Amino acid sequence: MTTWRINIHRNLADAFLMLAMFFNPFGFDALFALTMRLTGSFLAADLIFYGISISFFILYFVFSRKAKSKSKKSDEKIIDIDL
């Protein structure tokens, strides 16, 4: 894979990690309070935020693994060309 695709996967992985941390309900009281007010339930708001956070963590792991595997493949190609 080309270098720019590896960089895109790394940047996406970092962005998803930041979004996962953003939707973690412990630090963002205003959004959590709004969600709780809209749903009428603390448990529902909590599950919504944990669900969003978990989905972004999963996306982070997917894209970081893709970037690592593509990086290793490109390193192997460079080594093969040098020989």
Q: Alpha-carbon distance 26 to 38, whole Å?
A: 18
Domains of the chain: which residue ranges? 3-82
The residues, any chain, with a CB within 8 Å of residue 64's CB and separated by 6 or more, are: 9, 10, 13
Q: Alpha-carbon distance 14 to 49, whole Å?
A: 19
pTM of the model: 0.54
* pLDDT tens for the chain, residues 1 to 83: 567 777 787 788 888 888 777 766 556 778 888 889 999 999 999 899 889 889 988 988 888 887 777 666 655 555 545 54
In this predicted structure, what is the pLDDT of residue 13? 82
In this predicted structure, what is the pLDDT of residue 14? 81
